Homo-oligomer: A and B are copies of this chain.
Amino acid sequence: MNHRIILLAHGSSDKRWCDTFEQLASPTLDAVPDSRIAYMELAEPSLDTIITEGTAEGVSQFTIVPLFLAAGRHLRKDVPAMISELEKANGVTIKLAPPIGENPLLGQAIRDLVLQQLDTSAT
């Protein structure tokens, strides 16, 4: 496949943090063929690892879906700078999608889980 989806999480030295993101990513990784999770910093696989690996496997187009609720400095500055370097180093195209929190489906899921929690605590 010539196009690969990468779910990008922040990363942490705390394994519990990464475990949560791997569980969060799991339904997408199951549903989207050839997709991957990568970390911006402090954990592996790094974005660099995943892009280099994909390039070696013949992928030339990547789309990064940030597992971030909103765009702060990381998504406005740090990640675009990383992307620019990785594109040059690997001769590939990397598109940065909006953070997941900007999609209305997320707000609906938050509503549903809060209602679910209220239901559980009421019974």
Please give, as numbers and ranges, the residues of chain B lying within 8 Å of A65 by CB-CB distance: 114, 117
Determine the main DSSP class of A at the interface with B.
Answer: helix
Asked whether, in the complex, the Cβ of B117 is within 8 Å of the Cβ of A31, the reply is no
Please give, as numbers and ranges, the residues of chain B lying within 8 Å of A71 by CB-CB distance: 16-17, 20
Asked whether, in the complex, the Cβ of B113 is within 8 Å of the Cβ of A103, the reply is yes
Given B12, B25, B118, B121, which contacts A110 in the complex, CB threshold below 8 Å?
Answer: B25
Asked whether, in the complex, the Cβ of A107 is within 8 Å of the Cβ of B26, the reply is yes
Asked whether, in the complex, the Cβ of B23 is within 8 Å of the Cβ of A107, the reply is yes
A94 → chain B, closest Cβ, in Å?
14
Most buried by B among A7, A24, A115: A24
Please give, as numbers and ranges, the residues of chain B lying within 8 Å of A63 by CB-CB distance: 117, 121
